């Protein structure tokens, strides 16, 4: 157990507890934030003249499992330009858009992040995901289980068996040691196994005769009735298709009336919303639909979203949306890999470069920032790049500068294709985030949306995860955005569980973080019926036995289960 630690004299930003830049001390003991520490043995971190926040909480990233590994294998050129040498405290590795496991943990910690969610865990590959999560040092993790194209999901939706669907979702989160329900292009990925997709919410899925609308609403209802800590985590249909903001809003309308779990207003989280906020009829006349989507979000409290902010760089796109990745391959001519997960999911990987002189890329860049600035409530819109899809997570400091400085945005816009001025509203937006709003969209709000009460804040009882940045908020001005980028790229201190793991931007300790997952109790009679159903279909359709399917506890040496109390008939 770590000794007592005092983070002394910093400007503290803790939105969940109403602290907005107060000059104060933060006391850490036994891996938790405490009211005070007593005794002379407490160590001190001097935070005077610096910003102090809770450790960052990334709600959507791709850091472990088969998909990121395909990206690693597909792109040796990605690694050659970013070889990471060994140090006294860290192992060697490779980085950039598909960093190796150790480098992933180091780089998040160096930016002050202490918790990161792996946003797409295929159930059959869950062991692999957890093996890699265990390999990633320092940060706490969780995996979101892919369920939107699962055979059993489609089967129970077709039968209208809501209790069976709830029992299956609960069992699957246990079997995969997953934290949340992830849905990717509902119905479209199943159709892709037959070389097809879905175009609208009421298209039908082959062999099941159910629609994306039915899949989304059924899983949303099951999620809320199970009382899961996070809402459905939804990658909408028609991603990357001009005009798709209409599909996104239609999807949100479909779930609007579903009663949220106790303690929250939201019943849906839209992921990397930039990719689903396009207006126009084709890529020749594409324009921003961000203002229309933001208007909807502002008027409806059941929605949260994250940005998927575009970065102008070479990156590796990877999603569970196989048909979209094939479309991107055809558009670019770049190399491509398709991955099919039997009975459950799929994925694709395509290298891509976002270019400043590309009109569509310039518009996509603006859309993410428009969403962040036009959604009034920072508790409902979160900072991500959909690492590595919109760009590698190492560019978070750059995104921070765009959010907090209109000059930073303007300086970038002047380098871009002029379509960004004509087809988006970004040039006319004057809003600039302050440090409190930044702490909200990167820590407090993401932790709250995930239902992680012990994360994202510095109140008594919170995990002792703290980040300190060498920037003085009393003298900083938006014109000084390069200073801001520098400070947030290399934290002065990152503290994980009460232990200093980063000092002056360099990793100095590499403890193993926890893996969070959710356990829901299922009524005994319902569980018995579910197991009969699972056994029959596993025997007929799967290539593995049901007994070999669930992830064993040994795969989670630092597992941290959370119990969800559901509503059952």
Give the whole-angstrom CA distance, residue 513 versus residue 133.
9
- Measured CA to CA, the distance from residue 182 to residue 150 in angstroms comes to 11
Question: For residue 101, what is the enclosing H or E element?
Answer: helix 101-110
The enclosing H or E element of 351 equals strand 345-353
Q: Return the HEC string of 57-94.
A: EEEEECCCCHHHHHHHHHCHHHHHCCEECCCCCCCCEE
pTM over 0.85: yes
Q: Tokens representing 458?
A: 């510095």
Q: What is the pLDDT along the chain (569 residues), one digit of tens a residue?
A: 468 999 999 999 999 999 999 999 999 999 999 999 987 789 999 999 999 999 999 999 999 998 999 999 999 999 999 999 999 999 999 999 999 999 999 999 999 999 999 999 999 999 999 999 999 999 999 999 999 999 999 999 999 999 999 999 999 999 999 999 999 999 999 999 999 999 999 999 999 999 999 999 999 999 999 999 999 999 999 999 999 999 999 999 999 999 999 999 999 999 999 999 999 999 999 999 999 999 999 999 999 999 999 999 999 999 999 999 999 999 999 999 999 999 999 999 999 999 999 999 999 999 999 999 999 999 999 999 999 999 999 999 999 999 999 999 999 999 999 999 999 999 999 999 999 999 999 999 999 999 999 999 999 999 999 999 999 999 999 999 999 999 999 999 999 999 999 999 999 999 999 999 999 999 999 999 999 999 999 999 999 999 999 999 999 999 999 999 888 87
Q: Per DSSP, which regions of 224-272 are E strands? A: 232-235, 268-270
Tokens for 377? Answer: 């409530």
Q: How far is CA 391 from the centre of its chain?
A: 13
> Tokens 């921003």 identify what position?
288
If you compute the radius of gyration of the chain from its CA atoms, what whole number of angstroms results? 23
| Distance, CA of 464 to CA of 473 (rounded, Å) | 23
Half-sphere exposure of 534 (CA within 13 A, CB side): 23
Angle ∠(525,527,528) on CA atoms, nearest 5: 65
Correct CATH for 5-53+462-507 of 3.30.450.40, 3.50.50.60, 3.10.180.10, 2.30.40.10: 2.30.40.10
d(CA 412, CA 414): 5
What residues does each domain of the chain span? 5-53+462-507
């Amino acid at each position: 157990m770590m000794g007592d630690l005092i983070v002394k004299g910093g400007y503290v930003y803790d939105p969940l507890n109403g602290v907005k830049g107060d000059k104060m001390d933060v006391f850490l003991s036994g891996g938790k934030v405490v009211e005070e520490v007593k005794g002379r043995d407490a160590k001190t971190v001097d935070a005077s003249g610096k910003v102090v926040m809770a450790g960052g909480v990334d709600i959507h990233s791709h850091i472990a499992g088969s998909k990121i590994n395909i990206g690693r294998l597909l792109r040796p050129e990605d690694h050659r330009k970013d070889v990471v040498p060994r140090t006294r405290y860290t192992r060697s590795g490779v980085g950039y858009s598909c960093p190796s496991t150790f480098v992933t943990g180091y780089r998040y910690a160096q930016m002050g992040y202490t918790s990161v969610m792996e946003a797409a865990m295929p159930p059959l590959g869950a062991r692999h995901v957890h093996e890699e999560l265990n390999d990633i040092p320092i940060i706490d993790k969780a995996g979101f289980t892919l369920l939107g194209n699962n055979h059993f999901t489609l089967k129970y939706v077709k039968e209208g068996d809501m209790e069976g669907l709830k029992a299956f979702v609960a069992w699957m989160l246990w079997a995969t040691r997953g934290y949340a329900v992830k849905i990717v292009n509902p119905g479209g990925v199943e159709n892709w196994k037959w070389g097809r997709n879905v175009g609208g919410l009421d298209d039908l899925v082959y062999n099941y005769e159910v629609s994306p609308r039915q899949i989304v609403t059924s899983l949303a209802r099951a999620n809320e009735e199970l009382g899961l800590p996070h809402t459905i985590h939804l990658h909408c249909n028609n991603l990357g298709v001009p005009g798709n903001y209409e599909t996104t809003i239609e999807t949100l309308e479909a779930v609007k009336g579903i009663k949220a779990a106790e303690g929250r207003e939201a019943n849906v989280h839209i992921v990397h919303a930039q990719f689903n906020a396009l207006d126009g009829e084709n890529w020749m006349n594409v324009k921003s639909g961000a203002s229309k989507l933001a208007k909807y979000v502002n008027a409806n409290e059941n929605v949260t979203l994250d940005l998927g902010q575009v970065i102008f760089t070479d990156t590796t796109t990877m999603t569970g949306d196989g048909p979209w990745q094939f479309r991107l391959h055809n558009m670019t001519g770049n190399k491509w890999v398709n991955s099919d997960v039997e009975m459950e999911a799929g994925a694709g990987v395509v290298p891509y470069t976002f270019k400043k002189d590309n009109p569509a890329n310039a518009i996509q860049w603006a859309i993410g920032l428009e969403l962040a600035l036009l959604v009034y409530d920072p508790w409902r819109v979160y900072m991500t790049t959909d690492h590595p899809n919109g760009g590698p997570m190492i560019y978070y400091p750059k995104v921070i500068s765009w959010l907090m400085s209109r000059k930073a945005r303007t300086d970038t816009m002047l380098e871009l294709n002029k379509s960004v001025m004509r087809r988006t509203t970004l040039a006319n937006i004057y809003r600039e985030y302050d440090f409190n709003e930044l702490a909200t969209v990167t820590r407090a709000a993401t932790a709250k949306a995930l239902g992680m009460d012990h994360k994202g804040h510095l109140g008594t009882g919170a995990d002792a995860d703290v980040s300190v940045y060498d920037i003085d908020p009393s003298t900083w001005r938006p014109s000084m955005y390069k200073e801001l980028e520098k400070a947030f790229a290399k934290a002065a201190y990152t503290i994980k569980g009460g232990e200093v793991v980063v000092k002056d931007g360099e990793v100095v300790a590499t403890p193993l973080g926890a893996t969070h997952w959710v356990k829901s109790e299922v009524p005994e009679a319902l569980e018995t019926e579910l197991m009969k159903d699972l056994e029959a279909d596993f025997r007929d359709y799967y290539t593995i036995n049901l007994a070999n399917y669930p992830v064993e506890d040994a795969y989670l040496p630092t597992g941290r289960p959370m119990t969800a109390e559901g509503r059952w008939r």
